[in-house]
Structure 1
Amino acid sequence: MSNETDAESVPSHRRRILEAGTQVGRFRVEALLGTGGMGEVYQAWDPTLERSVALKVLRAGADREATAPERFRREALALAQLNHPNVCQVHDWMESPSGTYIAMELIEGRTLDQAGPELTVREKLQVVSAVAHALEAAHAKGLIHRDLKPGNIMVAQAPGTRKLQVKVLDFGLARLVEPTGPGDTRSTPSGVPTLETLKAMEEEGRGKTGPEASGNQAWERITQAGTFMGSPSYASPEQIQGQAAGSSSDVFSLGILGWELLAGEHPFPGEGRARMVAIVQGSHRDLKVRGLPSGAAELLLSMLEAHPFKRPTAAQVGRRLDHLLRPRSALRWAGASALAALALAAGANWFTSRGIIADLTRERPARLAVLPFTNATGDAHLDSLAQLMLPQMLETSLGAQAKLAPVDADSLARGRAALRLPPRGPIPQDDQARLVSAMGAQLVLRGTLSRGAGSSVVLAYELQDASGKVRHVGEAREASDRAAVSLPLARKVAAELIKAVDPLASQPKAMLPVAPEALEAYIRGADLMDRGDFKEAAPAFQAAALKAPEFAPAVLGYARCLSRLADVPPEPVFQWARWSARAQGDRVSEMKALHYLSVRHGDRGQWEASDRLGREALDLAKSLGETAFEAGIHATLGVNFQRQHKPAEAEAEYQQALAMYQRLGDKLNATRSLNNLAVIEKERGHLKEAEARYQSALQTVQAYGDRWGESFITNNLGDLALAQEGGLDRAETFFRKAQALREAIGDSNGLVYSLMGLASVAQARGDLDRAEGLERQCLEQARKTQLRPMEATALYNLGEINRDAGRYEAARMFYRQSLALHQELRDTLMETHCVAAEAECMAREGRRGMARALLDRSRALSTEETPYILRAQAWLARSEGRLDEAKLLFAKALGGARIQAPEIMRELRDAQR
């Protein structure tokens, strides 16, 4: 009969034990129940509510940790948020001169390790199911247990029945999502016995005698009271490796617990470090349990997957076990109910077809653009709420509705920028029509926020179709306290719209409650980021994230600011956003975080990480039915493949993206995919086909005024002209026009490509001083925008220009800098070009031995015969007197240079003479 009895059976002589009758706040101590790692647990009487409680006290004395009170307080706060039949409830929290206390529900029964041997297989599965549901409730609030073990689970039999009562204890290790830890939302604390810390302790113990000489004694040393935050036998692979402990870590611990309960042995063999290695490697035993329902073994195995994302969620575990434990009669009844439901659905079809947009949703959900609302309250502080916060919350609330597909706010912002619409405020009716056409939206939601009676505000809104016809009007009213009013307003409008669109649809999921001060900070950050002020937006988002670490949009905004500023690595914060979104069931924000991470890794040339994260985002987009996001992720993956010189793979991704965008009617993004396919045609030498695609895309973007789209398609027409005979003047015209467009719209990334194009034209003409000046500007811009692949290419091009000018020492310096970057980017072909180019410099300086060695190294890297590699081989052959061979190699290089390297055609022709 104790809340915690597994740590120590006898209290230490260094602890002051409270006597019966001691008063702690309003509670009167009755008896000591047991002790644990953080303190003692007493039975106490609450005279106010006339009930017995468990009173947990933080241990005092010399061994008390400085961080223990804060962890103790966190336990109380974490538990107080949970009100679930399978979670021990917190009643009160107290600080007094004698210590820190929490009053908790007094649990009758025994711990699972005591009661487990007496349970049947079915009862054991019931226990695992109950714990899964407790974790589901905790994870929904962003809480992770992180110390799930049999001693933290109480089991009792309900009076007069065989039904089990199960309670999960000790969420003292649960932490709200914190902005710490490399690569995730939560880092494993330093006290956790990872493989590295255990190895260090074992090495420390070598040569000693007595207890400290044993490797297993390291376990005791690092699991002393108050220092170990997680139990070694139930730790997940990520905890053992010192990485993140997320909700899937709890599922892994539950998998071990369930296996051990059913099979009577730990799933992973060995002890101490040997077991930790087995857990990391996934080397588990075979599960041998008689009477186990079909599917239970597979479920347990899935819970013990080494990769966190391959494990089911706690909610999925609970639902699956509940299904397995249902009696057969219930299953038959469920089948009959399903047939009845089908009949009901058929009968109700006439009703659902009467929704206000039934004509738009016969084939697929209607694409909806939620536009910024007009703020007519006279309070400028509500501008950001009306224009940013409310539209974003409505987009989130309506996203789960089967008949609506809201356009992502970022896509709308890009559309506004592309069409040169005002970046802020409501959109005029004429411009609205252009934006709707470009995005392929079938519906538009717009409205006005105004003052109501007293301190209330009123949001009057209307739903229009693309032709301007009003499909629905309504209003929502709420007492105003600025930021906090956005949540109830958005929910009311979403509920009314969903009812109008689909009368039988369920109401939107309740949005996560967010503290008003966190919302204020978030709105301030969103407002600043919307203005392009990322430096000031970052601390605002950070403040919001720290006040509400489970509020994924705030964390995501913070990560996006960091990725623009380049002061702090944003990857850990993107991971934080991903995990907080997942814990809250916000799968769209989780998908966005994964996609942003994929883009970030791609820009840095980290191809494997980018592809892995992109595929995870893609799977999530498919499961959510988010076609627009799915198309965007395909486009990102295509760009990555193209940067890696994998045209076939890139083309497949672009074709999928194009088909999806065309199906959605999204002209803005369809032209991007069309442009990328044209680039591939050009690289293959299909110049006419490439130009046709470019011109088609250019006409589309010009028709609806997309200046950004026009700039990059124009730049690519410059590349195409550069590859055509006599096209240098046309190429320069295109590049200059693209440069002017990009400067006008503030496209810093795009300027890198225009400057590089102009440098190539100058090099092709033989104006090497001008070419070098332009290429240095390109390099500076690439570094400023952190485009690492473009930085590496600019360095290579500077090497090319200096080599062409006969400045071989300077050329070699640039080639080596470019080589180092391309090695980091794992771009083998460009590595080959750098090595071959340095070999050419050596050959032209008469250092033939070094040149041969470098060319041998280049052949080991790649066997491709590009114009750059053939040119180097030709110069070595000429320097060694093999003139006929050199002539053939120069001719072969010239044959491929028209498409692959037009800027070096002049020098190749000169070399042939």
Structure 2
Amino acid sequence: MSADDSLTPEAWGDIKELLAELGTLSPGEREARLQSLPADRVARLQPFLDVDTGVVVPPATPGVPPTQAEEILAGRYRIERPLGRGGMGTVDLAHDLTLDCPVAIKRLSNLWLPDAEARRRLVREARALAALNHPHVARVHDVIDSSPPALVMEYVEGETLVDWLELPRAARTVIGVLRQVVEAVAYAHTRGVIHCDLKPGNVLVTPDDRAKVVDFGIAQMQRTASTTRVGDTTVAPAFTPRYAAPEVKQGARPVPASDVYSLGVLVDEVVDECAKAGAPLPPPLAQALRRASQAACVTEADRRPRDGAAFLAMLPTVAAPDAAAGWRTRAASAVLVLSGCISGGLAVTGDGSALRPASLGGGKPIVVAVVPRVDDASASTISAAAADFLRRSLGTLTRARLVTADVPAFKDDVDTLVKDLRFEGLTYVFVPSVAPTATGVRVSVAVRRAAGGGVVQTFTEEGPSSALGAITGRLASQVRAWLNEPARPPGGPVYEPSARALGEYSQARQYLERPDKPEAFQLARELLERAVEREPEFAAAHAELSRVLVLQYRARRDAALLVQAQAAAGKAMRLDPGLVEARLAHATTLQATGQRADAISELQQILKVAPTHDRAMRLLGQLQAASGAMDDGVRTLREVIALHPSWQNYRALGTVLYDAGRYAEAEQEYRECVALQPDNPFAHQLLGAALQKQNRDAEAVREYERALAIQPSAPAYTNLGTYQYGLGDLKAAERAYRKAVEIAPQDPLMQRNLSDALRAQGRAREAREGYQRAAELAEAELRVNPQDQTAQSLAAYAWARAGNCELSNVPSTRIESAPSPSVDGLIDVVNARLICGVVPQALVDLRAIAAAGVSLSGVLERDVEEAAPRPVRQFVAGAASAGK
């Protein structure tokens, strides 16, 4: 049966209404709705089901060959294959022979075009839409005035907003996508175009998190065509009921405020979908979005934001911070959619077709990374070494950006790879593999989409195993050409290590990506020591060895390790003073020994040569904040996160914010850490510390327990013990603190906390011995880095508790005179000052803590508060009553 003139106006209106309803339902709901209908209504509806994307037809029907494989439209567009069918017609993937790029062709069904005048009106309106030019609007490129007419539209590779939200997404990424959608609508409104059918199915999100609003004006075109009279009745325009404004449902002509209503419904759904995906938006952010949604969804159009621009002004740009509250503990942290087809048929999800990056458009650079293999096979086939050769051979890119650090490895599990990469902001990843041949090796580079893991291109070269560098150099040239990058200019002589030494170096670098794994540092150190022993001129391996030794020093507090790190960095600088990794190793040792100004200067020089180097930017941001330039430090760290949202970068920003007493903001960064590496115990411990500082104890304890379930760690035990200490369960606190001391006996914080539990139980002699031990350990750290505020504050507090106020005064004064004293440091110093009877300075420090927005409730130890003079107790009580 087909549509014909025998349909009565009433029957035709019934069909249109049912198609609109079915298009808003899930597949299961659609099937149930069809089964609920009388047989005669289903019979009338059946001929139209195969042209309605929202009902039954997938992008390609198995067993049915394409009918337009060789068809060329308008002498320019070669039809490649069907993409889907929509309510207004069919959609095909085509190739623009003039511009050499893919496009989507929507051929409009005559069901909606009963006469020539309707077709002419529709074509005029489509040409008006072609004037829209915005990075977040899927464009109409051309209109083919044929019978039926066809629209040539931008081919967008991506997934619908609904599908995109099925995975946990970072809050800032969600807000970014939402704002892009509203920006597109606001732009169209300034040009007199109303979407008329805004819904999640008409929003695509590309692999690099760019929103594209599709089918702009299509519903209005449908309205234009369908206002033609059928018999004696005017056919009602189609819309999606859930998202349609009340006036649209009542038959009024849509206005910009009608689109705003649809946006309000969409925003409200996004908040819900984030929660369903296990990544709820931060409460202040969710509340701000709910308020904007409520303003947009009022019944009267004239009471809503008048257009997209007005609604955009109501949307938050970042998560609003919660009010910070205090806690005495220190964070041990210096420690509708069918598969493949969008409603309307405009775009499809990635299907493995090898699109060249230049076709992505949108004005944003493509972000790529070389992902090494670290599975069992890679150890024998030196694939990890090939990854480093390839990364070095690619050199500087101009049209794409190459991420060079903190990228998860590939272990033959594509699903895991995609999950690990989902927050990395990448477009493509290059995965090299090396396999032995009869005469040498075969090196292949698979180009995978970061969003789905599908292979879009493969490059292969063969040669002798001793020429791995030359082989990967040829592959790098092919990859650069694929990226539309100019050929790399020849450079000066570069030291190329043997494949074996490079393999050891590359494998060590992968161990360093997971410092939470037992023995990761030691395994990396052993590999690097073998590499430099095998090839003493391998400067990059010396630099990486220096990095490992610094990390081991921070874990073990053994000053000899830092001396060795300085020697390795010096060796790397002598071998290749222009090597970025060598200079970064040198900057890291300067930072570790408290030479902040020199370290900052060195990092700034590095960034002149490599302006987007992750580790250099991260370390610079941390040092800027520690030197008193907090705003500069936070800005630098946010910039590096925007370039590369990795675990290490989020942790660095979170810790800087935490040290400044900005606990709610730190919480959001630590939540990103948990989302990126949910099996990393330190991520949960850091999040727990930020929650505990906000007096959200139950949530904090859950995070500590999660951390300990993954791997016992001293920071998690000591923070859990501090929670129990606050409850007055001193025995439980002592047990937790002792476990922390067993794991990290050289950490003064662990010794200090255990001493607090002993003192509170009246075991004064044991406590005094413990405080003495904590103070000595802190002083040992200060001999290495005199600017270490964590060690300074611990020494100040421990010496005061041990009864030596003279020694306590030195680190106390250093903290107080620091350009940017940490809040935790000041808390320790206040207690030390009051223990030693230095009341005026304690009041100054209390005012500084309150000025940072931290509650003074819980800042003083119980015995210190009880013994404090009246002015101190009055100030604390007054600050608490004032809500500070």
Normalising by structure 1, we get a TM-score of 0.45
Question: Which structure has more helix as a fraction of its residues?
Answer: 1
Tell which has more relative contact order, 1 or 2 (C-alpha 8 A, sep 6+): 2
